[in-house]
């Protein structure tokens, strides 16, 4: 994906948030338990089992459903035979007990393209500004503070899923940090792959059907107090649910 820059547009009409260092400071939080969204779907992710487990990307159910619906997964339409893209919003967390960084994608913002072909798409600065406004509107409506955590786009028809030279430029420009993610999906061949940082290292990414935790749940609405390098929970927003007999366990691969 190439970002078209119109020099006549004011400079503030750029998506600036990915550059903010504080957006990449993960909150201290024990990793939750997840039920993975169908073996058959996640098995299509080339690096589902082989990528470095120190960085985990979880696409929560609503976001996963939205991505698959937007790209028209497993369908052949006029819309999805050219590249489409969008941005992922959510939160970064760090589990000290496991020494892992994990990111939850809570929702997506689809991108209005100015031009799109089978191998190329283009966004104007006006489109990027509209995407940033959409994030502000989402946060206001849901009373949360989601950040841009990455982007996704399609390689349709017979194209393999990889980061092209143009994709690498986009990734470096907007999501070069270790916690900046990219996903490439082919809705026709039915495979996808996730990448991380400017180096586009493979990352273990899972689409989730539900989240289950038997610890205190800390939502984005929780207030955090940061002193030095330590982050303390000031207020928990939910009580731990009672453990059930059908405990899914940590990151189980149960189907819906």
**Is 4 part of a structural domain of the chain?**
no
Mean pLDDT by 10 residues, the chain (256 residues): 41 44 72 72 76 90 94 92 94 90 94 79 83 93 94 94 91 90 94 93 88 41 32 33 37 43
The reply to whether 155 falls in a domain is yes
pTM score of the predicted model: 0.75
Q: How far is CA 227 from CA 28, 95, 216, in A?
A: 12, 18, 22
Question: Is residue 9 a part of any domain in this protein?
Answer: no
C-alpha distances (whole Å) from 122 to each of 1, 135, 184, 218 are 6, 20, 16, 38
Q: Identify whether 240 is part of a domain.
A: no
- Non-local CB neighbours of 182 within 8 Å, separated by 6+ positions: 150, 151, 152, 163, 167, 171, 175, 194, 195, 196, 200
Q: Is residue 186 part of a domain?
A: yes
> SS3 of 91, please?
strand
Token code pair at residue 177: 């940090």
Q: Examine residue 63 and state whether it is found in any structural domain, yes or no.
A: yes
Residue 17 lies in a domain: no
What pLDDT score does 153 carry? Answer: 94
Provide the pLDDT for residue 181. 95
Number of structural domains (the chain) is: 1
Q: What CATH number is attached to the domain comprising 142?
A: 3.40.140.10
Q: What is the pLDDT of residue 15?
A: 47
The phi, psi pair for 112, rounded to 5°, reads -75, 120
Residue 18: the pLDDT is 46
Residue 148 burial (CB < 10 Å; 0-12/13-18/19+)? buried
Quick check: is 220 in a domain?
Answer: no
Expressed as residue numbers, the domain containing 146 is 34-213
């Amino acid at each position: 994906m190439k970002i078209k820059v119109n020099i006549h547009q004011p400079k503030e009409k750029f998506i600036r948030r990915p550059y903010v260092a504080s957006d990449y400071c993960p909150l201290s939080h024990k990793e939750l338990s997840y039920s993975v969204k169908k073996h058959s779907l996640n098995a299509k992710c080339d690096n589902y089992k082989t990528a470095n487990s120190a960085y985990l990307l979880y696409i929560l159910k609503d976001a996963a459903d939205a991505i698959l619906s937007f790209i028209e997964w497993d369908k052949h339409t006029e819309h999805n035979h050219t590249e489409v893209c969008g941005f992922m919003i959510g939160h970064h967390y760090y589990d000290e007990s496991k020494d892992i960084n994990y990111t939850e994608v809570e929702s997506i913002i689809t991108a209005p393209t100015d031009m799109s072909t089978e191998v190329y798409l283009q966004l104007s600065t006006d489109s990027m500004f509209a995407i940033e406004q959409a994030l502000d509107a989402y946060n206001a409506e849901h009373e949360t503070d989601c950040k841009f955590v990455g982007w996704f786009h399609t390689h349709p028809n017979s194209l393999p899923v990889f980061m092209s030279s143009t994709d690498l430029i986009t990734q470096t420009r907007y999501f070069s940090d270790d916690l900046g993610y990219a996903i490439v999906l082919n809705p026709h061949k039915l495979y996808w792959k996730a990448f991380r940082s400017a180096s586009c290292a493979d990352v273990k990414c899972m689409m989730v059907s539900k989240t289950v935790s038997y610890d205190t749940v800390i939502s984005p609405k929780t207030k955090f107090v940061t002193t030095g390098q330590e982050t303390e929970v000031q207020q928990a927003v939910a009580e731990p649910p009672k453990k059930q007999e059908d405990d899914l366990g940590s990151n189980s691969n149960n189907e819906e």
